[in-house]
Structure 1
Amino acid sequence: MAAVAPSRLAALTKLRCEIFQTAYNPTSVRTGAKYLRARLRGPSMIHYYPDTLTVAEFNRMPGGFKIQDWAEYQRLADVEEKKRRGKGAPRKAKTAADSRRMSRKR
């Protein structure tokens, strides 16, 4: 029985890859195809962890229950403290004449 020529086996492999829509890789170079074909993990992880409930979302829920958001309370106190020391955000200009940029233009 005669052995089949390597060129014929390579042609057969190439044709098989075209028919079954697989990657033709005669030199066995790493392509990452295994990872690209794998199922994505992100959607499963999103469904695994429960939704987190923030204080603001809880206060917006129907039922009339309200709890104090201490982080927001502290933030507002810090903003007020900065305003008292003159370090707060500048006032918004109501007209073009009030704007600092308009006075600087040449």
Structure 2
Amino acid sequence: MICNSVRRIASRGVAAAAPSSSFTRAASSTASTSIAASTSAPTTLTSSPPEASSTPESSSAALTKPSSSSSSAASMQRYTPRYLSAGTKPAPKQAISSLRALRASLFGQTHNPQNLRTGAKFLRKPLVGPGMLSYYPPEIKLSEVRSWLLDPIRLGRLSPEQRMASALVSTRMKYTLDELQRLEDVARRKALGKGPPKKGQGRRAAMKNKTGKK
């Protein structure tokens, strides 16, 4: 019984192994036929153009790609931004003349677009317009104020106290009693002929004359 069972198992294994061997034989036979066909067929694919070149994407890329000569010419040109190129344009003459007229009106100058002979170049100072005169009123010199305050016709009849109380004196300059006394002493000495020496007769001039003589 044991021998019979062993024989049956062995026969089943042989039957199961038979299809695998037939499959390997069929695969080997197909491989051999394909190799033979490849060796026997001529190599015509190398001579034909590639299929990728016939696609529309490849053709558009070929058209858009610049040539080497055009790229080198573009690199030689100098790049200038748009705002710089727009600023280099000359301004119109009408705008320049209007700007000059406005500047002359602002700074109190004379606008002379025809370059007429006005004699302005012989003046020592430039012309001043009414706007400048109203902005900078003329100032009174201190010497004129002193001559007006010490004028005997205008303020000669006033006492020193009244002179001190005067509104004009208090705003312009303030005199003390000692200063008024000094002015009176100077006036009295001038009347007596004892005022300041003339030019070339003072103490300093005398010292120079002594040192100059040898």
Q: TM-score range by the shorter chain?
A: 0.3 to 0.5
Q: Which has the higher contact order (CA 8 A, sep 6+)?
A: 1
- Say which one has the larger Rg: 2
